[in-house]
Amino acid sequence: MIDPAAFTRDAIERLRRDVPTTAIVAASGGIDSTAAALLAQRALGDRARAIFVDTGLLRAGEVERTRAYFARAGLAHRVVDAAPRFFAALAGVADPEEKRRRIGEAFIRLFEDEAAAFQTDRLIQGTIAPDWIESGGGSRDTIKTHHNVGGVPADSRLVLVEPLRDLYKDEVRTLARYLGIPDSDRQPFPGPGLAVRVQGPVTPERVAWAREANAIVEAEVEAAVARGEVERPWQYFAVLLPVRAVGVTGDNRVYGDVVVVRAVRSTDAMTASVVPLSFDLLGRIAQRITRQLSPHVVRVLYDVTDKPPATIEWE
């Protein structure tokens, strides 16, 4: 476990050394990049500009929530609306690795534009150890190419600065608490966003369904946690599958989509075990998803697989 005060001192020193003039910071609203952005702000002041990208792949209310969250953390930032850019980059792409590459590249191209506007070539990112370990390289197998590792095009003139590279998730949480980041125990959300929770091609319509299903899972699980009915899972979400199934709405047969619900406990995301949500809770989730997304979604499943052999996300 790290000593957060010593880590912060060293990180500030390294940032000052690695950033001679100015830098932009990729700030997703997650704990990793918020911690990196706050370290950059402490090290560089106005010479660091945090940028939050609305990719169109975010959860319900996330832009507003993130703005408020940054305000509470004391992080100055700029919001860029880039949904059309990301949907164009993802058009027709079903393969998860290709999605991550396209998203990574779209982020980098956008950051190149932002860096040029801020007259810098330095991009500070909140990459942590599992991101690059799972992305392979050297003698390691690729488990999945995290968007912030595999997506940097060879011709990019951006120089990456990654102050959290050697930290694991639980260490980032310790650091985040030390830096005064509010609510640092909330669940992680992947950088590629809902694109990896829509299996198969990513369209604005399917992302909207996945967004609504995720909002229902979060609301129902959080309500059950607040009532003391279930432990708070480390991560809990919904995935829209590329599988169709028959259902009935009223007197009509429909051939609709399938959503899978997942809730896991973990400490560092490297392993995870399933949280046994009650049948009552799962039933409520299934009812709300199929009602609110009728006639598009006709079936809801529960994933009971640990990591390993599965990963936490489905892609």
Q: Which residues in this chain contact ligand XMP in the complex, by CB under 6 A? A: 100, 134, 144, 146-147, 188, 190-192, 235, 269, 307, 311-313
Q: Quote the DSSP letter at residue 296.
A: T
CA 71 distance to own-chain centroid: 20
- Is the CB of 102 or the CB of 299 nearer to ligand XMP? 102
Closest CB to ligand XMP among residues 142, 287? 142
For the bound state, the minimum distance from the C-beta of residue 21 to ligand XMP, rounded and expressed in Å, comes to 28
Name which of 47 and 147 has its Cβ closer to ligand XMP.
147
In angstroms, the CA 156 to CA 84 distance is 22
Note whether 194 and 211 are within 8 A (CB).
yes
Its sign, for the CA torsion 235, 238, 240, 245, is positive
Q: Is 157 helix (H, G, I), strand (E, B) or coil?
A: coil
Which is closer to ligand XMP, CB of 54 or CB of 121? 54
Cβ contact 236:242 at 8 Å: no
Report helix, strand or coil for 51. Answer: strand
CB 158 within 8 A of CB 108: yes
Give which of 114, 27, 103, 105 is closest to 71, Cα–Cα: 27
Q: Minimal distance in Å, beta carbon 54 to ligand XMP? A: 16
Least distance from C-beta 186 to ligand XMP, angstroms?
A: 12
For the bound state, the minimum distance from the C-beta of residue 63 to ligand XMP, rounded and expressed in Å, comes to 18
- CB closer to ligand XMP, 126 vs 256: 126
Residue 12 or 94 having the CB closest to ligand XMP: 94
Q: The tokens 């990729």 sit on which residue?
A: 26
Alpha-carbon torsion (7, 12, 16, 21), positive or negative = positive
Q: Which is nearer to ligand XMP, 28 or 290 (CB)?
A: 28
145's CB contacts (< 8 A; 6+ apart) are 97, 100, 101, 104, 135, 136, 151
**Dmax over Cα atoms in the chain, in whole Å?**
68
